[in-house]
Amino acid sequence: MTAVTMTAPSVKAGGDEGRIGLRGNLRHIGALVRRNALQIKQDPESMFDVLLMPVIFILLFTYVFGGAIAGKDHQADYIQRLVPGMMAMMGMNIAMAVGSGVNEDFRKGVMDRFRTMPIARSSVLIAKIVVEIGRMLVAIAILLGMGFLLGFEIRGSALEFLAAVVLSTAFGAALMWIFILLGLSVKTPQAVQGMAMIVLMPLQFGSSIFAPPTSMPDWLEGFTKVNPLSTLADAARALLNGQGAVAHPALITLGWTVAITVVAMPLAVSKFRKKT
C-alpha cells in the first residue's frame, strides 16, 4: 500500500468535514488522488479493462453486428452510429469498477487506516471519482482512436466534440455514486459485479446505442425512449456527427446526471460514514 501523509492537527481522527474546511478537504482529496494513481502505477493490470474493453467492443460490434444491422456495404455508416453510442457505454462500465474497488478496500482493511486519519469522509470517495474519471477519459480516447482506424469521422465542431466528451464523462461520474453505494451495501466485489450486470445489460442493449429503436417491438421501443443511455447516445451522436437534434437529448441527459448525483451522492457518503 502506498503511504500518503495528510495532517490536520486541529481535527480529531474521524474527520469532521465542517471543521476541516474547504482548503483542507481539497488537500486531502489531492493526496488521496495521488495515492490511487500510484496504486494504478504499481498495478498496471488494473488498467486492462480501460485499455482493452474499447478495442474489443468496437471490433465485435462493428464486424459481428454491423453487417447485420446496417448491411455489409454500409459498415462505415454504422461506425458513425456506434462510436458516439459507445461513449455512453464506457462511463457505465467504468463506474461498475468503482463499486467493486470500494468494496475491496473495506475487505482489505484500507478503510481501517482512513478511519484513524483526520480527513473528511467524503474526500475518500471524491478522490476515487476523480481517478475513475481519468480512467474513463483514457477509455474514451482509445475508443475514438479505434474508431478513427475503422473510418469514424468527427463531423461536428471542436466545441461539439468537447461537449460530447464532457456530457459522457459527467453522466458516467454520476453513475459512479450509484455503484459506490452498491459497493458499500453488499458483502463482496463479486456481488457488486453480479448485481451491476443485472442493471447494465438491459440498459445497454435496451437503448439506441447499437440499433435504432424503430426496429424494436413497441414495448422495448418505449423503454428505449426513457433510457438515459439512449438520450446520452443520441446527444453524443448528434454532436459528433454535426447533425440531428442536440438540445432535447442533451438536456434530458443533464437532468438525469443532476438527479442521480443529488440522490446517490448523499446516500453514498452517509453509508460510508456509518461504515467507517
How does residue 236 score in pLDDT terms, banded at 50, 70 and 90? very high
Position 17 in a domain: no
Position 216 in a domain: yes
Q: Of 86, 92, 271, which Cα lies nearest the Cα of 174?
A: 92
How does residue 192 score in pLDDT terms, banded at 50, 70 and 90? confident
Q: Residue 217 sits in which domain range?
A: 22-275
pLDDT, mean over the chain: 84
Q: What is the DSSP string of 214-268?
A: GGS-HHHHHHHHH-HHHHHHHHHHHHHHT-S--HHHHHHHHHHHHHHHHHHHHHH
Render pLDDT for 97-127 as a digit per residue (tens, 0 to 9). 888 888 887 877 777 676 667 677 778 888 8
Indicate the pTM of the whole model.
0.84
How does residue 273 score in pLDDT terms, banded at 50, 70 and 90? confident
Position 227 in a domain: yes
The string over 200-228, giving b where at least 16 C-beta atoms fall within 10 Å of a residue's C-beta and e elsewhere, is beebbebbbbbbebeeeeeeeeebbeebb
Position 14 in a domain: no
Render pLDDT for 12-49 as a digit per residue (tens, 0 to 9). 444 455 566 777 778 888 888 888 888 788 877 778 88
Position 35 in a domain: yes
Percent of the chain with pLDDT over 90: 36
| pLDDT of res. 75 | 72
**Total structural domains within the chain:** 1
Render pLDDT for 142-167 as a digit per residue (tens, 0 to 9). 999 999 999 999 999 999 999 999 99
CB-based contacts of 21: which residues, under 8 Å, 6+ apart? none
Position 9 in a domain: no
Position 3 in a domain: no
Position 13 in a domain: no
Find how far residue 92's CA is from the centre of its chain: 5
